Amino acid sequence: MKDRNRLVFALVLACAVMLSAPFSTQAQGTPRIIEITAKRFEFTPNVITLKRGEPVILRVKSTDVTHGFFSKQLKIDEVIEPGKTLDVKITPQTAGSFTLICDHFCGSGHGNMKMSIVVE
Amino acid sequence: MADSIERRKFLRIASMSMGIGTLYKVAPLLGAGREAHELGVSLKESNGESIAPFTFVQLSDAHVGFSGPPDPLGTKAFEQAVAMVNALPQRPDLVLFTGDLTHDSEVKDEHAKRMRQFQQIAAQLKVPKLVCVPGEHDAGLDGGQLFRESFGPTNYSFDYRGVHFVALDNVSRAKPELGAEQLAWFKKDLARFPKTAPIVVFTHRPLFDLKPEWEWFTSDGDEAMNVLAPYKNVTVLYGHIHRDDEHVIANTHHYAARSLIFAFPDPEKVADKKPIPFDKEHPFKNLGIRVVNHNVKKPPQASSFSIEDVELSLREYSGINGIQQILKPVSL
């Protein structure tokens, strides 16, 4: 019985640790979630690092206007509406550094609104 | 091989020159034989425009309202472009402006003021016809409303002396795309023409993937290219990239005009999309003009344009006395 209690405690503790992590690490097979905020004219964070073959969810939101979320190389082509959360599921297969841009015109600094996705 | 050498020469010369846009000379199909004659008859029947030589100028990316850095000269290059066009020995019949007439402003009245300023400067052009397509800085924030109030529709077509011109709008939807409705219109618009008809498409962004990471593309541009694919004599003129570029894709020749505000570098040579720094000794460096001649000896199945460079310099900014025009004929 004690062993069982220890096991339950360990599981609860593990869950608490996972939920408190900046990038929540889910159980094996469940995608890692990375939160990204878009506002004119930047993405935060502007660099994220992924592992090749690792499924992840990019959870994206806009804090001001509508933005685009586009990477030709990673086959991402989405629109981020303010007030909504967008989940983009990807499993990068190729190592490298990929540029993701806002491709929904959002003002005079739009042309340089971008972030990097590094795949190791 | 000769062509590739000439092409390198053209690019080298272009990178040295400065100026204001592109001048096109068109003598469609004259002297091109029986097939051309038949096409001429067909075109006249379809659009009422008889085939006759003419010239036109492409200007692009004036960004009226933009203030430096990197370009503290404001509208000076645009104004110089107008003066230079007016001073051409052969007055062009037509001026095409391929977008970013203005720099955007979130304040509607300010943007309208910039559009009026563009119109005031453009009104000084002593040409019979000025046509424009919007850039994302003109139409990306309001869906093209101000542009339509100022100029009319953002996509349209017209026939001019035997050449069919099509204006495509790949900015008003905010994303770099044409959209299904416009593509359907485009297909229908071209359907009445024979496959040898000379067609000039003008738009803001490149229709192909020139550099998607810099937003130099149109996401559904390949669908427009599919519409154009059966046609054998197609030229696509665009702006947006603030530098000269030319691509040949199947039967379609794509030419980018330089900007009238500042230049972007070669994306193959730099990592970041940053304007080329302003050089007060050569303020119009990397802004340019090209003369395109319709080659009347080639049949319409082949590319029938050739290009000349015009190198300009201005006394006020470069120390060279007056405006110099150096025409360098090039065969592309």
Structure tokens at B235: 């030229």
Please check whether residue B331 lies inside any domain of the structure: no
Q: How many domains is chain B built from?
A: 1
Structure tokens at A109: 């600094």
Q: How does pLDDT run across B76-91, given as a tens digit for each residue? A: 888 888 888 888 777 8
Contact criterion met (CB below 8 Å) for B257 and B58: yes
Cβ-defined contact of A104 to B273 (cutoff 8 Å): no
Beta strand residue intervals within chain B, DSSP E:
21-26, 54-59, 94-98, 129-133, 156-160, 163-167, 199-202, 234-238, 245-249, 252-256, 289-294, 305-311, 326-330
Please check whether residue B332 lies inside any domain of the structure: no
Closest chain A residue to B212 measured between Cα atoms?
A72
Cis previous bond, A41, omega within 30:
yes
Instruction: State whether residue B37 sits within 8 Å of chain A by CB.
Output: no
Contact criterion met (CB below 8 Å) for B235 and A98: no
Q: What is the pLDDT of residue A30?
A: 83
Integer Cα distance of A61 and A59 in angstroms: 7
In the structure, what pLDDT confidence band is assigned to residue B29 with cuts at 50, 70 and 90? very low
Please tell me which of the candidates B103, B215, B274 has its beta carbon nearest to residue A103.
B215
- Closest to B215 measured CA to CA, from A120, A78, A71: A71
Please check whether residue B79 lies inside any domain of the structure: yes
Closest chain B residue to A112 measured between Cα atoms?
B273
In the structure, what pLDDT confidence band is assigned to residue B9 with cuts at 50, 70 and 90? very low
Q: How does pLDDT run across B200-239, given as a tens digit for each residue? A: 999 999 999 999 999 999 999 999 999 999 998 898 999 9
- Closest to B234 measured CA to CA, from B247, B219, B217, B215: B247
Work out the minimum CA distance from A81 to partner chain B, whole angstroms: 13
- Closest to B154 measured CA to CA, from B130, B171, B174, B142: B171
A-contacting residues in B 207-236 (Cβ below 8 Å): 209, 212-215, 217, 219
Closest chain A residue to B140 measured between Cα atoms?
A105
Contact criterion met (CB below 8 Å) for B43 and B49: yes
Work out the minimum CA distance from A115 to partner chain B, whole angstroms: 10
Contacts of B136 in chain A (CB under 8 A): 105, 110
Cβ-defined contact of B174 to A99 (cutoff 8 Å): no
Q: What is the pLDDT of residue B149?
A: 97
The whole model's pTM is what? 0.81
Q: Percent of chain B, pLDDT > 90?
A: 44
Please check whether residue B250 lies inside any domain of the structure: yes
Cβ-defined contact of A105 to B136 (cutoff 8 Å): yes
Helix (H, G, I), strand (E, B) or coil at B185: helix
Q: Which residues does residue A49 pair with via DSSP β-bridges, in sequence order?
A: A118
B306: pLDDT strictly greater than 60: no
Q: Which residue has the higher pLDDT, B18 or B168?
A: B168
Cβ-defined contact of B175 to A103 (cutoff 8 Å): yes
Please check whether residue B81 lies inside any domain of the structure: yes
Integer Cα distance of B243 and B259 in angstroms: 7
A-contacting residues in B 235-274 (Cβ below 8 Å): 273-274
Integer Cα distance of B199 and B165 in angstroms: 6
Query: Cα B155–B78–B89 angle (5° rounding)?
Result: 95
Please check whether residue B186 lies inside any domain of the structure: yes
Instruction: State whether residue B65 sits within 8 Å of chain A by CB.
Output: no
Contacts of A108 in chain B (CB under 8 A): 103-104, 137
Could you write out the DSSP letters of every residue in A30-77?
A: SPEEEEEEEETTEEESSEEEE-TT--EEEEEEESSS-EEEEETTTTEE
Calculate mean pLDDT across residues B114-122: 98
Chosen for mutation from A71, A100, A103 (greatest number of chain B CBs closer than 10 Å) is A103
Give the domain range for residue B248.
Answer: 3-326
B2: pLDDT strictly greater than 50: no
Question: Averaging pLDDT over each range in B133-142, B271-280, B311-320, which range is the top one?
Answer: B133-142
Contact criterion met (CB below 8 Å) for B111 and B102: yes
Mean pLDDT by 10 residues, chain A (120 residues): 57 46 50 97 97 96 98 96 97 96 96 96
In the structure, what pLDDT confidence band is assigned to residue B300 with cuts at 50, 70 and 90? very low
Q: Phi, psi at residue B167, to the nearest 5°?
A: -95, 120
Q: What is the pLDDT of residue B278?
A: 79
Please tell me which of the candidates A72, A104, A106 has its beta carbon nearest to residue B212.
A72
- Give me the torsion for CA of B283, B286, B288, B290, rounded to 10°: 160
Q: What is the ipTM of this complex?
A: 0.78
Q: How does pLDDT run across B248-269, given as a tens digit for each residue? A: 999 898 989 888 888 899 999 9
Structure tokens at B53: 């030589």
Please check whether residue B94 lies inside any domain of the structure: yes
Question: Mean pLDDT of all residues in chain B?
Answer: 78
- Closest to A62 measured CA to CA, from A36, A78, A44, A82: A82
Q: Which residue has the higher pLDDT, A31 or B290?
A: A31
**Inter-chain CB pairs, A–B, below 8 Å:** 45
Q: What is the pLDDT of residue B277?
A: 85
Integer Cα distance of B204 and B225 in angstroms: 15
- B111: CATH: 3.60.21.10
Instruction: State whether residue B175 sits within 8 Å of chain A by CB.
Output: yes
